[in-house]
Chains A and B, each alone.
Chain A
């Protein structure tokens, strides 16, 4: 894996109906071997406030065109700055960083479960999985239908998505985890990948455990260095663990079996 620091030129940076932003970056020197689930660390702002880089999942990557695609929502000062970057401007990117999703066997039956902006890393994953002729089933939960603006990118891959909205404005009315739980019975999946709110991923992992299906999830945490040096993004995967994993280097992707959620 060849991580480096690069300047990427912003091709497009637009707010969608979802309220979230989509950014396309021209970055020819980005490591072609970048894996789904890895992230990039972006300097947001030229000065010292905000000071630290911000991590973003690789939402999609076209290695032939050298195009990186990100999806983000406004959270704080870093993403606010990022949202103001005009097309044609350069941004400072370190990556790809972290451990991505493991690759299942070609032809494997795979379920993806995404919640909200957590859908981001699952697009690049879905692309790679279709290249491996995996049979994909995707469940995607949002609050209301405006947040489905990423849907067409999945449809372009030729994969089907079952949608759940909290308000019933599209697809299944209710939680995506309920939809997933109903459908998993008939799916016979080999592996499950999920990204979204922790409470959602905890439920997905619990259902997967019932059916003895392995899987992986992606965590997030405040980060400083992003390369495993500062030990800031530490967390215990199980309360009884002695050691802290580092989300940036040991993750952000972990297997269901490594985790025990404590959702208090």
Chain B
């Protein structure tokens, strides 16, 4: 008889190193999350990974009413990156709460809802609909989508608006509120400070960088929506720089991401000041990457005598 108990990867990890992090009152068992819009509602990735092992799944951005999204083509590959102009296509908050959320909760997934109201009032309404009672762990407030005419980035580039919308959502929900910041500003620290003053529990950064591509044969823009958001390894240096800058100026934790493809990238984001990381475009390339990175992060910690991953947060930041 085999007397040796076989441990699950999770047990193995928790016995040897501490991967858990605090994200503004939200406890994550490890710092790896799946970024909103790149992971659907989780189920699409179940054939490739045990999604319940993730620190959290940040689901597709939710509007109040169903949103059809932008005209095709919506995506285009660029050098080490991709442009997207999905336009927040989603079935609306009710379908999310009634169908997708229970599915994820039944599987033991920690869910962060991403809300993306078209108006100030929509964000308030959405915030009020998503409370602790619903089973959601936190709200990521999308004030940075570059692909919608109303709301989106419009909120995220004006410090007064950022303060007000964060403050309004904070008042109506009992969950941690994590605004997702737009990189399409000249000084991101001003926006970050406004979000913090508005009561943000943590900051998510960065959303995509606005860009475009031209079809030279047709002599017109490639994307149906003309502009799109650039993601992938191409934006990683920009994301790191912004997280580094913001970490120096604010006191709340950062959920960092932008082109993370491997464990070295994860470590760079943590050392630049991210308490947790979000994996986005990499999910499209390696559908099991997010869970794989948890294991690789644990391996790194064991090999480098890092007992707690939280000890590395901001390790490279000269304050």
B48: chain A residues within 8 A (beta carbon): 4-5, 94
Q: Which A199-225 residues have C-beta < 8 A from chain B? A: 221-225
Assess A230 versus B84: contact at CB under 8 Å? Given A51-B232, A51-B285, A244-B89.
Answer: yes
Q: Which residue of A lies closest to B224 (CB)?
A: A234
Q: Which residues of B contact A3 (CB under 8 A)?
A: 47
Q: List B contacts of A48 (CB < 8 A).
A: 80, 232-233, 261
Chain B: interface size category: 20 to 34
Q: What residues on A are CB-neighbors of B75 within 8 Å? A: 222-224, 230, 232-233
User: For residue B37, which residues in chain A have a CB less than 8 angstroms away from its CB?
Assistant: 230
A156 to B186, CA, bound (A): 65
Query: Which of the 9-residue segments B38-46, B127-135, B194-202, B311-319 touches chain A?
Result: B38-46
Indicate whether B73 reaches chain A with its CB closer than 8 angstroms.
yes
Is the beta-carbon distance between A229 and B45 smaller than 8 angstroms? yes
A88-B60 Cα distance, complex, nearest whole Å: 40
Q: Could you tell me if B45 and A227 are in contact, using CB atoms closer than 8 angstroms?
A: yes
Q: Decide yes or no whether B211 CB sits under 8 A from chain A.
A: no
Q: Report the minimal beta-carbon distance from B109 to chain A, rounded to whole angstroms.
A: 15
The reply to whether B287 and A227 form a contact with Cβ atoms under 8 Å apart is: yes
B89–A228 CB distance below 8 A? no
- B45-72 vs A, CB cutoff 8 Å, 1 = contact: the mask equals 1011000000000001000000011001
Q: Mark out the residues of chain A between 47 and 68 whose CB falls within 8 Å of any chain B CB in the assembled complex.
A: 48-53
Q: Count chain A residues whose beta carbon lies closer than 8 angstroms to a beta carbon of B.
A: 31
Q: Is B76 an interface residue (CB 8 A)?
A: yes
Q: Choose among A4, A49, A51, A229 the residue that contacts B44 (Cβ–Cβ < 8 A).
A: A229
A155 at the interface (CB under 8 A from B): no
Given contacts A5-B288, A234-B89, contact A228 B44 (CB under 8 A): yes
Q: Tell me if A242 is interfacial: C-beta within 8 Å of chain B.
A: yes
Is there contact, CB below 8 Å, between A49 and B76? no
Residues on A facing B (Cβ under 8 Å): 2-5, 43, 48-53, 94, 221-236, 242-244
Name 23 A/B residue pairs within 8 A (Cβ), A-sorted. A4-B47, A5-B48, A5-B287, A48-B80, A48-B232, A50-B77, A51-B80, A52-B284, A53-B284, A222-B75, A222-B76, A225-B287, A227-B45, A228-B44, A229-B38, A231-B60, A231-B86, A231-B89, A232-B86, A233-B74, A234-B86, A235-B72, A242-B68
